């Protein structure tokens, strides 16, 4: 099956400054991809290049088998059949909801246009707000109107730039799930830019992790979380600490947090080992491979408690532990690593 969107060896620049370099990935019909990474990593530049707002310095972008961007030629944004939802939603304040949604449907007959608007209002669960204006809606409702307006002309691909950033944390997560459902109902592929990994995990079939202008990894979110390509990816998709590792045997590593048995043997050829340890992968309890650490702080978070431990080498590490563990500051606790991620560097 031919991918809907193909980005090949893409490079984008602002003047002489390289923003994106050697970016390649493919997205199939109906798939939802999230681009995740820190501020300044090139996420929005990549989105703008796909939309046609940003010229390409090297490489190409293809949509449904047709090349739409190269250094020599660029298809205008309005001819790409790509919808865009901007960070500020960009709704027309003087138009009602139904008028906002109908704005891009002027080429349709009146009956067909009205039918499409009703269909989308029902899809985004705003059919009772059709005659209201944007200022009369909550932030979440405005976001759904912007999504409906972008979907109205039935684009081949939808691009969303930080669509939930203006909303509170709980609403962001629920809307990410809702947007996924709406896109599924429409059968529309999408690329969503976000800096929030929980949004990316909820919304995306594919996850692209950007750092330093490079696409560090492109895969299913669960694969990236469990098997990050490098320490930069691991830190972007999960909180944790990076420890130096020493190979004692092909499947045994020693760290400041004890010894770790690996499921498969590794060969380093003299390369340095780094072990990424997430807070949920630290296990307390007596064990032959554990080290004794001192509790220096604890923060109750409801479903678990976040402890700060000082290791024998002086390093401070965090562990998220369930209610069955109750340690007081100053107490000493044996700790070990349950499921590390190991990198050679």
The candidate with the shortest Cα–Cα distance to 30, out of 64, 60, 59, is: 64
171 in the same domain as 206: yes
In terms of domains, do 331 and 208 share one? no
Whether residues 67 and 216 share a domain: the answer is yes
Chain-centroid distance, C-alpha 267: 32
Identify the pLDDT of residue 345. Answer: 66
Our count of domains for the chain comes to: 2
| Residue-range definition of the domain harbouring residue 57 | 5-233
Considering only 162-166, 227-231, 245-249, which range has the smallest mean pLDDT? Answer: 162-166
Structure tokens at 32: 């939802």
Q: In this model, does residue 293 exceed pLDDT 80? A: yes
How much is the pTM?
0.88
Are 56 and 70 in contact by the 8 Å Cβ rule? The answer is yes
Domain end residue (candidates: 233, 260, 286): 233
Residues 18 and 156 grouped into a single domain: yes
| Domain match, 159 and 261 both | no
Give one DSSP letter per residue of 131-158, joined into a string: T--GGGS-HHHHHHHHHHHHHTT--SEE
Question: What is the pLDDT averaged over residues 302-322?
Answer: 92
174 plus 246 within the same structural domain: no
Burial of 246 from C-beta contacts in 10 A (0-12 / 13-18 / 19+):
middle
Structure tokens at 298: 């604890």
44, pLDDT greater than 90? yes
10 and 43 belong to one structural domain: yes
- Cβ count within 10 A of residue 139: 14
CATH code where residue 120 lies: 3.40.50.300
Residues 258 and 237: their CA atoms lie apart, in Å, by 24
Q: Is the per-residue pLDDT at 170 higher than 90?
A: no
Residues 6+ apart with CB under 8 A from 189: 4, 5, 27, 28, 29, 30, 31, 32, 156, 157, 158, 183
pLDDT at residue number 270: 62
Look at the block and give the residue holding tokens 């949004």: 199
Q: Which of 203, 233, 263 is the last residue of a domain?
A: 233
Greater confidence, 91 or 174? 91
**Beta strand residue intervals within the chain, DSSP E:** 5-14, 17-27, 32-36, 58-63, 66-69, 82-85, 157-161, 189-194, 206-211, 214-219, 240-249, 252-255, 258-261, 273-278, 282-284, 291-300, 305-310, 316-321, 332-337, 341-344
229 plus 264 within the same structural domain: no
Q: What is the pLDDT of residues 262-277, one digit of tens each?
A: 877 777 666 678 899 9
CATH of residue 299's domain is 2.40.50.140
Q: Looking at 216, 233, 250, which one is the last position of a domain?
A: 233
Encode pLDDT of 63-120 as tens digits: 999 999 999 999 999 999 999 998 888 899 999 999 999 998 988 999 999 999 999 9
| Whether 179 and 194 share a structural domain | yes
| CA dihedral for 256, 257, 258, 259, sign (positive or negative) | negative
Residues recorded for the chain = 345
Let me know whether 113 and 248 are in one domain.
Answer: no
Q: Tell me the average pLDDT across 144-157.
A: 93
Same domain, 225 and 252: no
Percent over 70 (pLDDT), the chain: 98
Residues 15 and 151 in one domain: yes
């Amino acid at each position: 099956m031919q991918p809907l969107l193909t980005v090949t060896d893409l490079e984008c620049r602002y003047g002489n400054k390289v923003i994106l370099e050697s970016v390649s990935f493919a997205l199939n019909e109906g798939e939802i991809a999230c681009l995740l990474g820190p501020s300044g990593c090139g996420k929005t530049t990549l989105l703008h290049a796909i939309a046609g707002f940003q010229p390409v310095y090297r490489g190409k972008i293809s949509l449904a088998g047709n090349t739409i961007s190269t250094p020599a030629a660029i298809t205008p944004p309005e001819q790409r059949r790509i919808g865009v939802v901007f960070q500020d939603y960009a709704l027309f304040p003087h138009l009602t909801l139904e008028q906002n949604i109908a704005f891009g449907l002027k080429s349709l007959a009146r009956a067909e246009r009205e039918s499409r608007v009703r269909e989308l209002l029902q899809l985004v669960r705003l059919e009772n707000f059709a005659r209201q204006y944007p200022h009369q809606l909550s932030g979440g409702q405005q976001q759904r109107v912007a999504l409906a307006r972008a979907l109205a002309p039935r684009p081949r691909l939808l691009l969303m730039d930080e669509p939930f950033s203006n909303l509170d944390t709980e609403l962001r997560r629920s809307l990410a799930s809702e947007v996924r459902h709406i896109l599924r109902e429409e059968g529309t592929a999408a690329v969503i830019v976000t800096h929030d990994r929980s949004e990316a995990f909820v919304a995306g079939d594919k996850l692209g992790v950007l750092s330093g202008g490079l696409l560090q990894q492109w895969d299913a979110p669960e694969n990236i979380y469990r098997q990050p390509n490098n320490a930069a990816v691991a830190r972007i998709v999960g909180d944790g600490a990076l420890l130096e590792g020493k190979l004692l045997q092909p499947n045994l590593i020693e760290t400041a947090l004890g010894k770790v048995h690996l499921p498969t043997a590794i060969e380093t050829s003299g390369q340095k080992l780094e072990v990424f340890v997430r807070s949920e992968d630290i296990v307390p309890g007596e064990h032959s491979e554990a080290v004794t650490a001192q509790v220096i702080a604890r923060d109750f978070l409801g479903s678990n408690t976040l402890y700060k431990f000082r290791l024998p080498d002086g390093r401070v590490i965090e562990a998220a532990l369930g209610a069955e563990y109750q340690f007081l500051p100053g107490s000493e606790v044996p700790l070990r690593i349950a499921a590390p991620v190991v990198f050679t560097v």
